[in-house]
Copies of this chain bind each other. A is one copy, B any other.
Amino acid sequence: SKSDNQVGAFSSVASERKHHHHVPSRKAPDTEHFVKVTLEDLLSGVCKKMKISRRRFNKVAQNFFQEERVLSFNIPPGARNGTKIRFPDEGNETLNMAPSDVVFVLVEQPHDLFIRDECNLHTGCKIDLKLALFGGTLVIKGLKNESFSVRMEPMTSSLSPLVIPNGGLPEPMPSEEGEPKRFDRGNLIVHFEIELPKLSPNKQDTNTIKSALPGLGQMKVQYLPRQIFLQSPKP
């Protein structure tokens, strides 16, 4: 989500603001840099090192010069898309304004297998009708090298998802003072596409299935397909 989350750890940096050779009345606007993060990065958190280029003032030579600087910071597990990480006064310097803050904005990268929704992950599985009808064991790949071996009960509806608790992303939890930070994890939610067998008419097996299968070959009810039109994750 495009929330303006501030990573707590970096708020304190603001109080370390350095003293400058003059006290300008205005502050230059933030210098924003976008930082790509994968869902894998967000599972366990990641340390990023970003090289930035900034303009500084040389007091001796009385001129500006371009300087490269490496800023490093931790992206905590479960950080939200759009989270801002602020480095006060690390941006360009001008004569009449305080240097800008450098702000890194997390940009979550799309994943081949998972869609994120808060701390939950959604994925899909193609299965055959036999597994749907009679249940069985599935091995679902999670983020990084995780995999979940789950027993699936017979499905009652083709749209029933399978929920794997703690298969999602960590959710930063408020920790008691002195205690280490705890993390709960969201769910991994598996949606199914059932491959239906091609049953040739007038074959023995086809007739056998047709007469043994309950149901009348009918439509039951017409409805708004909310289950299919899930809210797409916020961009």
Q: Which residues of A contact B (CB under 8 A)?
A: 111-115, 122-134, 136, 138-141, 154-159, 191-199, 205, 208-210, 212-233
Contacts and interface: CB of A to CB of B under 8 A. Distances in A.
Given A112-B224, A155-B196, A228-B228, 14 more contacts: A126-B220, A126-B222, A129-B213, A129-B215, A131-B215, A133-B213, A134-B210, A157-B194, A158-B158, A158-B193, A158-B196, A193-B227, A195-B215, A230-B232
A33 B218 CA distance: 46
Task: Name the 7 nearest CB pairs between A and B, nearest first.
Answer: A124-B225, A128-B215, A130-B217, A158-B194, A158-B158, A126-B220, A130-B215
Interface majority SS (helix, strand, loop, mixed), chain A: mixed
Contacts of A221: 125-126
Contact of A218 (B136, B192, B216, B233): B136
A219 B232 CA distance: 25
A217 B154 contact: no
Contacts of A123: 222-225
Contacts of A192: 158
Given A197-B214, A232-B229, A232-B232, A126 B209 contact: no
Contact of A228 (B134, B195, B213, B230): B230
A50 to B, nearest CB: 29
A224 B158 contact: no
A133 B216 contact: no
B215 A212 contact: no
A132 B194 CA distance: 11
A219 B125 contact: yes
Nearest to A201: B134
A196 B133 contact: yes
B214 A212 contact: no
A231 to B, nearest CB: 6
Contacts of A158: 158, 192-194, 196
A195 B156 contact: yes
B205 A157 contact: no
Contact of A220 (B127, B141, B213, B226): B127
